[in-house]
Structure 1
């Protein structure tokens, strides 16, 4: 990447007000689980060394460090300004297991050491070929033998249509050298809207350009940073999936699966597609996924990769309904802790009554479970219905099929090392100081540069002074009345006594809302009696 290109990218970051995001599918616990799903063992995420390339302000790894105090996180970022601001948040939060380093990827040497997990989100497609090569070379040299890496990138064929939108945006700004990048984004969006509106006036043009209109509409709805990053940066170089795999092979690396498992478990589609893929590329999984990308018009991939020799044992049988009830697949399914991500309204999709009732029972109990618990519920339901061994076997088979389907389609979160889920209990729950210090650091100096995150590394956009106030109150287990009185004092101060009833009602509502919010964030711990 040339110095001029670097300068342009850093100017885009500055002018468009980039805010560093957490990405749940990049966590070591998630990458470990996906590797295990296809038959590959990975290091324990709780004690892992983790490297992120292109870390910006650190928004993807700082919250991970907060929830995983025995793991170590290092972020590499080209922008000195972003590194300094991110490290300021880290220092103010008192975190000692995460740091940001300013460096060009090509300049990183052996002194940085090796890592169990390496993350490169939103980087590969947005750099030139030399940096692409340096990126994969770095992963090969710095990933431990059984380590896992994650690389995301824009893909063809889907990006061919997006490329038309990008060229429109760039063409509209060809003579706008006086504009800063924010002005170029707004100007490009304006021109895009005019062009799109003109096409929509004519039925023949609308039909002929339906894919372009869909891509244009998608871009118009994106935020300014995304448009500037994908459509106005000097480098945006999508690749075909097979080309990425060829590049991996040149660096002693191999593909395991995509974080969108529907792209990898090709037999999870209907039998006709599966049979067609077998005819096109029998026993060549990369080719099958490439053909699937042509069918789906895929625009983006989130590839999970490993050292080449560990890919020899990979299996994609989880996507084959005919093999889900085999001993190897059941063994894999049995190894995870699950969280249900669908709600009760979706239960009608289950044809087996016992399976449907099992998921309903789990949802009512909080949504987290393991297979021992699920199978116990199935057996109890079968016994209650006076079922026999045959009906029990049918229900168990149906449960495993349902598990595999929703693992692949995203209805279940599955982890080998989940973060403990704490539910609020009056007089037992509290917020540990490390979470309060982090939120304080973010509220005071970081909300404009990064998002907070839940224990699953899902973005939290609106951490606020109110959150911080409540966390400081709940610094140790307390009775509800004590917390409510503290809320009243902090919010209302010395208000008139005649308002006491309304103040109490408002404080109790605040208490109910914030205790639930602390559960969702994963900031609670419960004192063991």
Structure 2
């Protein structure tokens, strides 16, 4: 099993709101459950900002939010208690050990977590999704894919070479050195280089990442991108 903590998200996600997911589902012919009375499972909730937002603005919604970061869950519980939110539960637990009631979840949210799971954990997530979703349920699972991540892997390799040896237990120092390197790289790209606009875009994207994600992706290199078509079983060719 992977020892990587699920990412501690710090911002609510508009595209993972049940109202948005329900509207999106209708494009694919699925009449998803109304958001105001939905049962939501948020996997990898981090500090609980998304779950707290849903609970605060939707008092009839029921939310269970999990993460294996004890510190993040403790803070989320504290905030929920201060806000007197009775419709959200925060649980510190691994995906493989989670066992919600079968067919009880209307919206399963798993954002920016899948690409940090090992093979067993990914299978556990798929199994959980299959058993937990209600008949009208919607799963929102995001992940990093190839070939787009190939260029970013080049950045990670350059940062690794530049750092030579990451500072043990000092992620902030590593990030500061990585940011300085990216700024230097951007400064010295030739003006007429055909890839300059693309490299500038990727540079800015990396620099704007939340510190924990930047460290996991480009210094610790914990991310495991995949090819989308390899995630799902393909139909057999007719013989």
1:144 to 134, 138, 142: 134
Pair 83,50 (structure 1): closer, same or farther in 2 beyond 3 Å: same
How far does the alpha carbon of each residue in 1:104-145 deviate from its partner, in whole angstroms, 9 at most, with x for none? 111113568721110001111122222222111111111112
Preserved CA contact (<8 Å) 2:167 2:173: no
How far apart, CA to CA, are the structure 1 residues paired with 2:186 and 2:200?
Answer: 6
**Aligned counterpart for 1:244 among listed residues 226, 231, 234:** 231
Q: Conserved in 1, the CA contact under 8 Å of 2:160 and 2:219?
A: yes
In structure 1, C-alpha distance between the alignment counterparts of 2:92 and 2:168, rounded to whole Å? 30
Corresponding residue number in structure 2 for 1:40: 30
Q: Partner of 1:95 in structure 2? A: 85
Instruction: Quote the Cα distance in structure 2 between the aligned partners of 1:88 and 1:147.
Output: 30
Residues 1:137 and 1:63: Cα distance change in structure 2 (over 3 Å): same
Runs of 4+ in 1 over 4 A off after TM superposition: 110-113
Cα distance in 2 for partners of 1:221, 1:68 equals 31
Deviations 1:22-53 (A, max 9, x none): 00111112111111122111112211111000
- Determine if the alignment matches structure 1 residue 185 to structure 2 residue 175: yes
Distance 1:174 1:143, change over 3 A: farther
Partner of 2:184: 194
Matched, 1:27 2:17: yes
Pick aligned residue for 2:42 from 35, 49, 52: 52
1:128 to 113, 118, 130: 118
The within-5 A match list for 1:24-423 is 24-110=14-100, 114-178=104-168, 180-200=170-190, 203=192, 206-207=193-194, 211-246=198-233
Deviations 1:260-317 (A, max 9, x none): xxxxxxxxxxxxxxxxxxxxxxxxxxxxxxxxxxxxxxxxxxxxxxxxxxxxxxxxxx
Contact 1:35 1:42 in 2 (8 A): yes
RMSD: 2.5
**Contact 2:167–2:174 (CA<8 Å) still a contact in 1?**
no
Q: Deviations over 1:303-337 (max 9, x none)?
A: xxxxxxxxxxxxxxxxxxxxxxxxxxxxxxxxxxx
- Assess, with a 3 A threshold, how the Cα gap between structure 1 residues 112 and 88 changes in structure 2: closer, same or farther: farther
TM-aligned CA deviation for residue 102 of structure 1: 0.5
The 1-side partners of 2:15 and 2:195 are apart by 37
TM-score by length of 2: 0.87
Question: For the pair shown, which has the larger CA radius of gyration, 1 or 2?
Answer: 1
Identify, as 1 or 2, the structure richer in helix.
1
Shift of residue 161, structure 1, vs aligned partner: 1.0
Aligned mates of 2:31, 2:9 — CA distance in 1: 34
Q: Find the aligned partners of 2:10 and 2:220 in 1 and give their Cα distance.
A: 18
Q: TM-score, normalised by structure 1?
A: 0.41
For 1:56 and 1:29, the matched residues in 2 are separated by 21
Displacement of 1:60: 0.6
Contact kept? 1:161, 1:211, Cα under 8 Å: no
Please say if residues 76 and 90 of structure 2, whose CA atoms lie closer than 8 Å, have aligned partners that are also in contact.
Answer: yes
Question: What are the superposed Cα offsets for residues 488-513 of structure 1, whole Å, 9 maximum, x if unpaired?
Answer: xxxxxxxxxxxxxxxxxxxxxxxxxx
**Contact (CA 8 Å) 2:107, 2:138: kept in 1 or not?**
yes
2:103–2:134 contact (8 Å) kept in structure 1:
no
CA distance in 1, matches of 2:56, 2:167: 43
Counterparts of 1:107 and 1:73, CA distance in 2 = 18
C-alpha contact (below 8 Å) 2:144/2:225 kept by paired residues? yes
TM-fit CA distance, 1:183? 1.0
Q: How big is the shift at 1:74?
A: 0.4
- Shift, 1:177, TM fit: 3.3
